[in-house]
């Protein structure tokens, strides 16, 4: 079987995932870039990234993808769990069906794929699992309750998993991006208006939506490359840190949440969200 390091990156069709897949390929990995729509992965082929059709909410798709990689290479060295999205709206307004979908994509898909790669990593006595959360896994703002809940969940899941698999030579790393220039802001803003733009939360929701997707916010955002660099460091370091907070706002916001009382942080978050 191959001696080349093998990496699997989910959510590789755009943004952080695409930048990470390219950077890992340049670092010498054989990289499988996974996404639901492989047509959006076509441009990664020039960088040597192998397109892999995978829907993290479809167990057959996950099993087939992992089986294909193991059949071809006999190992998986790095799993980057990046697939996810932000669905915004007041907790009261978001249908539970959508809340469950958010958990299916952001938490259970990540967890299931991790379950599938761990036997191979344990057998080979090495491996690196990189879970992309968010600074939103350490703090919360209004109208992002379900999204924040998923990211808080992945933070806790990662901490437990790290302790479980360390004796087998497997490292678990959390990467916590701040404000990044991707499709995320537009999706979150649109879902917020659709769910809470009218009714009891309407005025505040519309202001928050405008803040999420404003030209000023976009100017302050970091490039996905910033996160891709951190993920590559996490994937290649001899002894990686357990967490990497990177990108606009990540370190100061996480630090502020640690030291500010709840109500003081609530006030700061209200100002941040307009």
Domains of the chain: 6-272 (3.40.50.720)
Predicted pLDDT at 219: 79
Q: Can you list the positions of beta strands (E) in the chain?
A: 6-10, 30-35, 50-53, 78-81, 127-132, 170-177, 243-246
Distance (Å, whole) CA 211 – CA 206: 9
Q: Rounded to an integer, what distance in angstroms lies between the CA atom of residue 255 and that of residue 257?
A: 5
Tell me the two tokens of residue 35. 């996404």
Q: Write down the pLDDT at residue 183.
A: 78
Predicted pLDDT of residue 1: 57
Residues labelled as active-site residues? 147
pLDDT at 218: 74
The low-confidence residues of the chain, meaning pLDDT below 50, are none
What was the pLDDT predicted at 2? 60
- Report the pLDDT value the prediction gives residue 163, as an integer from 0 to 100: 98
Q: Please give the pLDDT value at position 232.
A: 98
At 19 the pLDDT is 97
Which pLDDT score, from 0 to 100, does residue 39 have? 85
Alpha helices in 74-106 (DSSP H): 96-103
């Amino acid at each position: 079987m191959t001696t080349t390091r093998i990496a699997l990156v989910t959510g590789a069709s755009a943004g952080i995932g695409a930048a990470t897949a390219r950077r890992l390929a340049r670092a010498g990995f054989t990289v499988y870039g996974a996404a639901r729509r492989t047509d959006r992965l076509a441009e990664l082929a020039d960088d040597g990234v192998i397109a892999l059709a995978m829907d993290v909410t479809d167990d057959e798709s996950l099993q087939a993808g992992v089986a294909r990689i193991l059949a071809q290479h006999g190992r998986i060295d790095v799993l980057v769990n990046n697939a996810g999205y932000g669905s915004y709206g007041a907790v009261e307004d978001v249908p539970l069906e959508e809340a469950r979908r958010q958990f299916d994509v952001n938490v259970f898909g990540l967890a299931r794929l991790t379950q599938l790669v761990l036997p191979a990593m344990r057998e080979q006595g090495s491996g690196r699992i990189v879970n992309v959360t968010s600074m939103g896994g350490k703090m919360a703002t209004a109208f992002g309750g379900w999204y924040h809940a998923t990211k808080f969940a992945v933070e806790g899941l990662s901490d437990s998993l790290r302790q479980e698999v360390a004796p087998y030579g497997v490292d678990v790393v959390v990467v916590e991006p701040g404000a990044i220039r991707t499709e995320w802001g537009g999706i979150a803003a649109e879902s917020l208006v659709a769910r809470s733009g009218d009714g009891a939360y309407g005025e505040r929701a519309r202001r928050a939506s405008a803040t999420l997707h404003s030209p000023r916010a976009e100017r302050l955002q970091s490039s996905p490359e910033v996160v891709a660099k951190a993920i590559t460091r996490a994937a290649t370091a001899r002894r990686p840190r357990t967490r990497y907070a990177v990108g606009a706002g990540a370190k100061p916001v996480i630090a502020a949440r640690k030291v500010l009382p709840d109500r003081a942080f609530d006030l700061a978050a209200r100002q941040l969200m307009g």
